[in-house]
Structure 1
Amino acid sequence: MTGPTMSAQALGQLLPMHLWLSACGKVLSVGPTLSKLIPDLADGLADRLVSGRAGQGPCPLQAIRTAVEHRRRLFLRVVQSRDLVLRGHGVQVDDGTLLVNLGFGIGLHRAIRAAGLTDDDFAPSELAMELLFLHEANRGVLTELSRFNTQLAQSRELALLQAQTDPLTGLQNRRGLEIALSLSLRTADFADEVAHPFAIAHLDLDHFKQVNDQLGHQAGDDLLRSVGAVLRSHIRKADTAARIGGDEFVLILRGMTSRAALQQLADRIIVAIRALSPPELTDLQVSASLGILVWHPGGPDQPEQVLAMADKALYLSKGAGRGRATII
């Protein structure tokens, strides 16, 4: 089919990315999609297209002639979008004009963003349509995958938190305490790092059994929740409070080594817990006994050893009359 037998309008419908040139390089027709990408291309190739093939001069007309003559693939770079390279091939029509059909290849998504192209800008049989649909499908898959990964990470974080949390009080459970205590006892891996001292307090409620026996387990649970709130309100954000079973609680107090400060903290906790004692217990009063160990680097390095020493201090408090703290 020769140039004179086909109108530019028909050519544009069939090849929306065509470029039709006279023998001397004058632009005779530009496909509507190519015009959308390079609006002033009908005024000439200069300063709008350059050769995109390595080792070849920048002249776009020479690149087109060489590609037509040697039946090679044509590469043209868009000057206003230097990262956008058009790919295609060309033929010489019987009247000497040059007809070039261009495409985007893997640069399709960049062209879509640059010129706001849609499926209406491509011929139905154009491979670019398949690439466009593939790109959209890929983007959709990546979006869903990212959403799934986010949900998975949130679920994992929630499961980890639940695995270390006491459901009744919201404090750490025994597993959470073991992790926190192991981290506190971990020896330094590098010479310029040192382990930091801390205090560990083992707390037990005095006469808690009578609450369950006389007032019921609901009253006991309510009291445990209130004790948890007291402990949270008396420690710092960097500290750890855990319920390790029944009416036993453990505190890890980072950097606290002053016996006077520890005694003052213990006294405040004892007073606050005594105020929670149900008035229905007319003959007894719930209180708290504490055993506190001050740990320094070089001390026992196993969690069970540290807990055993704090437990020993707790029993000294119990034996001395309860409702008090013993610091060792």
Structure 2
Amino acid sequence: MSTQSSVLSSLRPMSLCVDAAGAIVSVGPTTRKVLGDIVGTPLFDMLDVSRPKGIGTLSALRAQSGAKLHVRARSAPETPMVAQIAMDEAGGMVIDFGFGIGVAEAVRRHGLTAADFSATDLTLEILFLIEAQQAAMAASRKLNRRLHVARLAAETEATTDGLTGLANRRAADLALRTLEAGETPFSLVHVDLDFFKQVNDRFGHRAGDIVLQDVARDLTEAVRPGDLAARIGGDEFLLVFPGLADADQLIRLCERLIGRIERERRMNDRIYAISASAGIALWHGGSDVSTEDLMGQADRALYASKAAGRGRVILAEPRCQPPPDVSPKAPGNFADGS
């Protein structure tokens, strides 16, 4: 290698020299690392000029001296490069390469380090800034995800009953306000447990909590995806059914639910039974709905079902009110188990 080529390779390690006939006569160390040992190869057997178009001869290439070219080497087609040409006194040329916007990928693909660039080349500093920015953005995205998860957890906690896992009164109020703003039919079912106080008095509050959790599972299984099951008081629950205002269907659902709640249970070798009463209020759609009025209707229907004997459901419509001579159900069935 001549002294001139040695100096060029030191100052511009991504360069190569071409003689007047178009053969590659020397290659800088970084060029060799990327393109391989191409000394002696005719330039146009190794290099394609993609922009400007139509450059396929030495005379056309010489005419671009000092201009920026977009090139691709056939030995490394996955690494697009930019190039600049300078003519020498003997009719040959020096071509200096760069990676342009693909520098980060080229550095990774070819395993380049600081030693592969000239001391005045800002490539590595730019890469450092890019990586620092990417690291900062990754940290920011991670923090945002954590904040999003924390916010969702806080929102879930704020609208969830801690004992049963059902929605709480706040969640029920939010759901009802949303329905109130629309015109879609919906229904409310107010459910209250019968004889629950006897469970607390006889077996303790921990037993009462277990009963509430068990009933919550019954309610969850009774509703559809998109419906709401909420605990709104000690042993009071609210079911909200968007898009459903079919009285017969709701009555059948409540009867099945009450039957499930009334199944025999065992606590500390004692058999006991609870029941539930329910009141239904319907909205058939349209404007000017008042969920407060509907809640009042469901409450009155619930109290009517308790007054009529408990363990039953009543629809908040005159045609569905029970006859006055309905005999009440027996109170909670407690007996020692054997």
Q: Confirm or deny a common fold (TM above 0.5).
A: yes
Could you tell me how far apart the structure 2 residues matched to 1:247 and 1:91 are?
92
Go from structure 1 to structure 2 and tell me whether the alpha carbon gap of 1:91 and 1:149 turns closer, same or farther (over 3 Å shift): farther
Offset at residue 248 of structure 1 (A): 1.0
* RMSD between aligned residues: 3.4
- TM-score, normalised on structure 2? 0.77
Deviations 1:75-100 (A, max 9, x none): 232265598341446363x5554333
The one of 9, 26, 30 aligned to 2:27: 30
Summarize the Cα distance change of 1:259–1:303 in structure 2 as closer, same or farther, 3 Å threshold: closer
Give the Cα separation in 2 of the matches to 1:218 and 1:266.
27
Amino acid at match of 1:322: R
Matches of 2:50 and 2:301 in 1, distance apart?
Answer: 82
Residue matched to 2:331: none
Partners of 1:163 and 1:290 lie apart in 2 by 26
Could you tell me how far apart the structure 2 residues matched to 1:24 and 1:131 are?
A: 37
Deviations 1:54-79 (Å, cap 9, x if unpaired)? 5x7524745763465xxx45323226
Residues 84 and 110 of structure 1 are in contact (CA less than 8 Å); yes or no, is this contact kept in structure 2? no
- The alpha-carbon deviation at position 127 of structure 1 amounts to 1.9
TM-score by length of 1: 0.79
Question: How far did 1:116 drift?
Answer: 2.8
The answer on 1:143 being equivalent to 2:138 is: yes
Which of 80, 90, 110 lines up with 2:86 in the alignment? 90
Distance across 1 between alignment mates of 2:49 and 2:273: 92
**Residue segments in structure 2 that go unaligned for 5+ positions in a row:** 317-338
Aligned-partner SS, 1:144: helix
> Does 2:280 align with 1:292?
yes
Alignment-derived partner of residue 268 in structure 1:
256
Q: Secondary structure at the residue paired with 1:157?
A: helix
Quote the Cα distance in structure 1 between the aligned partners of 2:230 and 2:294: 15
* 2:25 maps to amino acid: L
Which of 144, 148, 151 aligns to 1:153? It is 148
Tell me the CA shift for residue 12 of structure 1: 3.9
Could you say what secondary structure the match of 1:136 adopts?
A: helix
- Please tell me whether residue 21 in structure 1 is matched to residue 18 in structure 2: yes
CA contact (8 A) 1:108 1:131 kept: no
Indicate the residue corresponding to 2:170 in structure 1.
Answer: 175
Q: What residue number does 2:42 align with?
A: 44
Q: Paired residues, what number? A: 312
Q: 1:199 to 1:238 in 2, by over 3 A?
A: same
Quote how far apart the aligned CAs of 1:310 are: 1.0
User: SS at the partner of 1:245?
Assistant: coil
Following TM superposition, by how much is the alpha carbon of 1:168 offset from its aligned partner in structure 2, in angstroms?
A: 0.6
Q: Which residue of structure 2 aligns with residue 164 of structure 1?
A: 159
Residues 311 and 110 (structure 1), Cα distance of their counterparts in 2 relative to 1, 3 Å cut: same
Counterpart residue identity of residue 5, structure 1: T
Identity of aligned pairs, percent?
A: 37
Structure 1 residue 39 displacement after superposition: 4.1
Q: Aligned runs of 1:72-83 on 2, under 5 Å? A: 72-78=66-72, 81=77
CA distance in 2, matches of 1:41, 1:151: 52
2:112 is aligned with 1:118: yes
Q: Which deviates further from its counterpart, 311-320 or 207-216? A: 207-216
Determine the C-alpha separation between the residues in 1 that align with 2:200 and 2:57.
Answer: 92
Compared CA separation, residues 60 and 275, structure 1 to 2 (3 A): farther
Q: Which amino acid aligns with 2:213?
A: R
* Contact 1:290–1:313 under 8 Å retained in 2: yes
CA distance in 1, matches of 2:258, 2:154: 34
Q: Which residue of 2 aligns with 1:199?
A: 187
**Gap runs ≥5 in structure 1:** 189-194
